[in-house]
């Protein structure tokens, strides 16, 4: 199964990707996670990406496309993959098509998790993440048992720097300007599956499962 997860920042793409990974046994390719890892390791990509991410801007296409192409060429992607956070504009969408043509494979589905902006703002401003194992929390909906401490590994639970109000506003503006075009790009090709994301995590998961079973 080869899936793209599309939707505004904070729609729940990462949350749902974790479930799809368990269900289909395919790798989760999150460009946001890859970039944050590169920043942590202070690689050249990480140093370049940090300036953009901190402002809520998109990292340049050539950097991202190179990174994703390299990842898609690895053996674990032969059985499929779930792309989360890529593509993010039409250029990246076309670059993904070229990369898949080279690999002689097609996308099965583009799952678009649609969530209104007020919900997104609430989700992102309340999101907290474990610095060690990456588990996702929300101060109101999914708080860790002990504040600031990960239930799973005991690591530090922190707020992503780009989850501050000003940066969230800019990320949403960038989404409206750049990523929204991709919806019609995939709709025109009959690949788009729209899921209302303003429901509980379990309800959204059930709906994605049902729609993917029909693909």
Active site residues: 13, 88, 127, 160, 171
> CA 18, CA 105: separation in Å to the nearest integer?
23
User: Site map for ligand AP5, 95-114, x if CB under 6 A?
Assistant: --------------------
**Given 3, 4, 6, 11, the residue binding ligand AP5 (CB under 6 A):** 11
Q: Which of 4, 20, 82, 88 binds ligand AP5 (CB under 6 A)?
A: 88
Tell me how far apart the alpha carbons of residues 22 and 4 are, in angstroms, rounded to a whole number.
Answer: 16
Q: Provide, rounded to whole angstroms, the least separation between the CB of residue 79 and ligand AP5.
A: 23
CA distance 5 to 84: 5
Q: How far is the CB of 131 from ligand AP5 (least distance, A)?
A: 15
Residue labelled with tokens 């496309």: 65
Instruction: Specify the stretch interacting with ligand AP5 by CB under 6 A; choose among 70-78, 80-88, 100-108, 183-191.
Output: 80-88
Q: CA-CA distance, 120 to 214, in Å (whole number)?
A: 28
| Dihedral-angle region of residue 3 (phi above 0 means left; psi in -120 to 50 means alpha; beta otherwise) | beta
Phi, psi of 149 (to 5 degrees): -125, 130
Is-cis flag, bond preceding 87, omega within 30? yes
CA 183 and chain centroid, separation:
15
Give the interface segment with ligand AP5, choosing from 19-27, 82-90, 102-110, 182-190 (CB under 6 A): 82-90
CB 152, CB 130: distance < 8 Å: yes
Interatomic CA distance for residues 151 and 141, integer angstroms: 15
Looking at 31, 39, 45, 81, which residue binds ligand AP5 (CB under 6 A)?
A: 31
Q: Binding string to ligand AP5 for residues 171 to 210, with x set by CB under 6 A, is what?
A: x---------------------------xxx--x------
Site membership for ligand AP5, residue 71 (CB under 6 A): no
Q: Answer yes or no whether residue 86 interacts with ligand AP5 by CB under 6 A.
A: yes
Q: Please enumerate in sequence order all residues whose Cβ is within 8 A of that of 130, keeping only pairs 6 or more positions apart, or say none.
A: 137, 150, 152, 153, 155, 156, 157
Q: Is 52 in the site for ligand AP5 (CB under 6 A)?
A: yes
Contacts with ligand AP5 by CB under 6 A lie at 7, 9-15, 31-32, 35, 52-53, 56-59, 64, 85-86, 88, 92, 123-124, 127, 136, 138, 141-142, 162, 171, 199-201, 204
């Amino acid at each position: 199964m080869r899936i793209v997860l599309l939707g505004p920042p904070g729609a729940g793409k990462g949350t749902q990707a974790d479930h799809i990974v368990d269900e289909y046994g395919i790798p989760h390719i999150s460009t946001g996670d890859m970039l944050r890892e590169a920043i942590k390791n202070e690689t050249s990509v990480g140093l370049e990406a940090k300036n953009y991410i901190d402002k809520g801007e998109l990292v340049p296409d050539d950097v991202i496309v190179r990174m994703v192409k390299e990842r898609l060429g690895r053996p674990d992607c032969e059985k499929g993959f779930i792309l989360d956070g890529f593509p993010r504009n039409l250029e990246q969408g076309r670059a993904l098509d070229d990369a898949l043509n080279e690999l002689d494979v097609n996308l099965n589905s583009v799952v678009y998790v649609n969530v209104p902006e007020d919900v997104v703002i609430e989700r992102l401003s309340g999101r907290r993440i474990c610095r060690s194992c990456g588990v996702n929390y929300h101060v109101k909906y999914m708080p860790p048992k002990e504040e600031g401490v990960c239930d799973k590994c005991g690591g530090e639970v922190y707020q992503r720097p780009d989850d501050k109000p000003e940066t969230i506003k800019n990320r949403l503006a960038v989404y409206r300007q750049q990523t929204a075009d991709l919806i019609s790009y995939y709709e025109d090709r009959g690949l788009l599956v729209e899921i209302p994301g303003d429901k509980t995590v379990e309800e959204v998961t059930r709906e994605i499962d049902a729609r993917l079973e029909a693909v």
